[in-house]
Amino acid sequence: MIIYHGKGDNSLYSLFCLLLDLEEPNKVVRRAEEPLLYPTEPFETEGFFSNVVFSNGVVEHEGKLYIYYGASDESVGVAITDVDYLLSSF
């Protein structure tokens, strides 16, 4: 599973989820229908580059995924979820 950022609807840079084949990781198995995270909060929608969130890294700890992301090139945020929720988004 890959979490990446790209330009989504309404020119918002958002986080997306992608599932790759375990044996052949160059093959895309599925892409999530909707963005995992898109800019909604003022620190994400206003700033040096407004309406932008971009991936910085993911940490798994005690069954939770901590997704660290940059926002508007000025701030850092963290979103907390789990693998089951991400898999259900496909």
pLDDT digits (tens, 9 = 90+) for 5-52: 988 777 789 999 999 999 999 999 999 888 999 999 999 999 898 999
Q: Up-side HSE of residue 34: CA atoms within 13 Å toward CB?
A: 7
Q: What is the mean pLDDT of residues 43-68?
A: 93
pTM (two decimals): 0.85
Residue (of 86, 88, 76, 87) closest to 36 by Cα position = 86
